[in-house]
Amino acid sequence: MALYENQDLKIYNSLTGEKETFKPITKGHVGMYVCGPTVYNKVHLGNCRTFISFDLVFRYLKHLGYKVRYVRNITDAGHLENDAEEGEDRIAKKARLEELEPMEVVQMYTVDFHNTLQKFNNIPPSIEPTATGHIVEQIETIKKIIDKGLAYESNGNVYFDVLKYNENEHYGILSKRKLEDLIANTRELAGQSHKKNPQDFALWKKAEPQHIMRWPSPWGTGFPGWHLECTVMSSKYLGEEFDIHGGGMDLKFPHHECEIAQGTAANGKNPVRYWMHANMLTLNGKKMAKSTGNNILPEELFSGNSDKLSKGFHPSVVRFFMLQANYRSVLDFSDEALLAAEKGFDRLMQAIEYLDTLSTSNSSDIDINSWKQSCYDAMNDDFNSPVLIAQLFEAVKHINACKHHKIKLTANDISVLKATMNAMCFDVLGLEHFESDSNNNEVQDELIQLLIELRNEARANKDFAQSDKIRDQLKAMNIQLKDTSEGTTYDIIA
Ligand code: AMP
Ligand code: ZN
């Protein structure tokens, strides 16, 4: 029997604003779509947080025994500079500035994206389709929406008719907006566009002569609107109705709202059962973003090469730092928070190592089955990783207490602890066991302090041969002792 049959997984559905029991459309199978990156720049840590959040979801669903088809797209055309309806294509602009082919830009940053996510130990999606690989399907979907009377052509562009759609459906159902309010809050300059109404959004845009990413269509040469690719690729690979759609909170409106409208218009079905939105990573209280420069790059974080950091951090520590927050909460990045996460991470890994060294008793001081279920309860509660991590630290307490003979654990306790800690840390949270610098540094520091003490004792006993030997041999290892009025310190000579 698969694990999911015994667990009651609840997912916070942004569409209803409630935690709902998860029931997939087809028993045992899950279809999940997540909006991928626009590959015109290096991914920053904020982007990584969103993809780590959905990697957690993917991993837990798999852990429960579901067969998951996870589709995450690559946006390589159609995403204009200002997210809305105007401006240059982001990829084309970068290509122009760097004197590259647009597809060279796409390739370069797709590779960067994959390398980075691999460092964070993200599992690749099952399918990773691109917008440019699905132009034909996008044109077909536009035709379907025009045939339903919910889109119109205007001067080589095709727009979605939001007012018409809203006569029978609710445009704003996800972001909880009312069309009347949207209209009241819009100030459109006269003659600015070819739309019937400023709320209408582009399904197809006419390419101006300088626009280099262009394809033929029944409406002339142009390119697809940004929102359309996700509707087309999700329905192609997961069906007109599928289980989970995810993305960053900032995509809820207009991107996801438009996806619902397009899917409903084209196929007569609300496309998604559970909408999940991951919250933002901030730096100095402001959203990390490519466009504002308020961000930190993963490579800076790993190397420590940044004025925002005291040192470099292992990707697994960074991942642990992110998973210590709930995916629906804002998380602020800071050096101190990472240093604290590193300490916690080391304690957790050390406890897992101790598990092999504990002596067993015939009686137990803990209720191992209830502890194990509390780990599942945390994850079943909308993937609540911080609560799971708190449970893992409960286990760390037990393991350390047993090591110091303060409590008793049976062989069964230890085997359940081992299996569950391994499953939760490595399969579900996706952490990796590595020898951390901080661990090594701490041990090294303690050893040097011990030698300094021995040297002081030797000097107090006037055993100068011994005290000089300690100093000289440390020096040979590039550790230079310094006697100051406050005592002895040391420098490590690089
Ligand atoms: P983009 O490449 O800008 O389309 O973004 C790719 C993904 O990263 C989207 O799901 C965004 O919602 C998400 N994202 C962008 N900035 C942040 C941030 N500061 N924190 C978390 N996720 C973000
Ligand atoms: Zn999308």
Closest atom of ligand 1 to CA, residue 295: 19
Q: Name the residue at shortest CA distance from atom 6 of ligand 1.
A: 37
212: phi then psi, degrees, rounded to nearest 5: -85, -20
Mind listing the domains of the chain with CATH numbers? 9-278 (3.40.50.620), 282-428 (1.20.120.640), 438-492 (no CATH)
Among candidate residues 91, 81, 79, 74, the one with its CA nearest the CA of residue 35: 74
- The DSSP element (H or E) to which 454 belongs, if any, is helix 437-460
Average pLDDT over residues 354-368: 96
Look at residue 188 in the predicted model and tell me its pLDDT.
Answer: 62
Does the C-beta of 316 come closer than 6 Å to ligand 1?
A: no
How many Å is the Cα radius of gyration of the chain? 28
> What pLDDT shows up at residue 254?
95
What is the whole-number distance in angstroms between the Cα of residue 327 and the centre of ligand 1?
13
Nearest residue (by CA) to ligand 1, atom 5, is 37
H or E stretch including 487? Answer: strand 487-492
pLDDT band at residue 381 using 50, 70 and 90 as cut-offs: very high
pLDDT value at position 283?
93
Residue minimizing CA distance to atom 9 of ligand 1 = 248
Any ligand 1 atom below 6 A from CB of 130: no
How buried is residue 313: exposed, middle or buried, by Cβ count under 10 Å (0-12/13-18/19+)?
Answer: buried
pLDDT of residue 191: 54
Are 171 and 179 spatial neighbours (Cβ–Cβ below 8 Å)? yes
Q: How far from chain centre, in Å, is Cα 310?
A: 24
- Ligand nearest, relative to CA of residue 229: 2
As given in the structure block, the two tokens for residue 483 are 């006697």
Ligand 1 pocket residue status of 47, Cβ below 6 Å: yes
Ligand 1 touching residue 225 (CB < 6 A): no
pLDDT, one tens digit per residue, over 45-99 is: 999 999 999 999 999 999 999 999 999 999 998 787 766 567 788 888 888 888 8
Tell me: pLDDT of 136 over 80. Answer: yes
Q: Which of 382, 400, 395 is nearest to 424 (CA)?
A: 395
Q: Name residue 381's amino acid.
A: D
User: Do residues 151 and 142 touch, judged by C-beta distance below 8 A?
Assistant: yes
248 lines ligand 1 (CB under 6 A): yes
Distance 272 CA to ligand 1 centre (A): 20
Ligand 1 pocket test target in 75, 79, 249, 250 with most atoms within 8 Å of CB: 250
Distance CA 31, CA 39 (A): 24
Q: How far apart are CA 479 and CA 476, in angstroms?
A: 7
Stated as kind and residue range, the H or E segment containing 321 is: helix 315-323
Residue 38 alpha carbon, nearest atom of ligand 1: 2
Residue 260 pLDDT grade (very low, low, confident, very high; cuts 50, 70, 90): very high
Give dist(CA 492, CA 54) in Å, integer: 42
> Does residue 304 have a pLDDT over 90?
yes
pTM of the predicted model over 0.95: no
232: Cβ below 6 Å to ligand 1? no
| C-alpha of residue 201 to centroid of ligand 2, in Å | 15
DSSP letter string, 217-261: -TT-SEEE-HHHHHHHHHHHHH-SSEEEEEEEGGGIIIIIHHHHH
What is the per-residue DSSP string for 114-163? HHHHHHTTPPPPSB--BSGGGHHHHHHHHHHHHHTTSEEEETTEEEE-HH
Q: What angle is formed at CA 338 by the lines to CA 332 and CA 341, rounded to 5 degrees? A: 110
pLDDT, tens only, 384-439: 999 999 999 999 999 999 999 999 999 999 999 999 999 999 999 999 998 766 56
Residues with CB under 5 A from ligand 2 (ion): 35, 230
pLDDT of 189 > 70? The answer is no
Atom of ligand 1 nearest to the CA of 249: 12
- Provide the angle, in degrees to the nearest 10, between the axes of the packed helices 411-422 and 335-354: 140
Which atom of ligand 1 is nearest the CA belonging to 39?
Answer: 2
Ligand 1 atom at minimal distance to the Cα of residue 34: 10
- The CA 96 to ligand 2 mean position distance, Å, reads 25
Ligand 2 centre distance from Cα of residue 34 (Å): 7
Confirm or reject: Cβ of 280 under 6 Å from ligand 1.
yes
Q: Identify the residue whose tokens are 């029931």.
A: 23
What is the pLDDT at residue 212?
Answer: 83
Residue 184 pLDDT exceeds 90: no
54 CA from centroid of ligand 1 (Å): 12
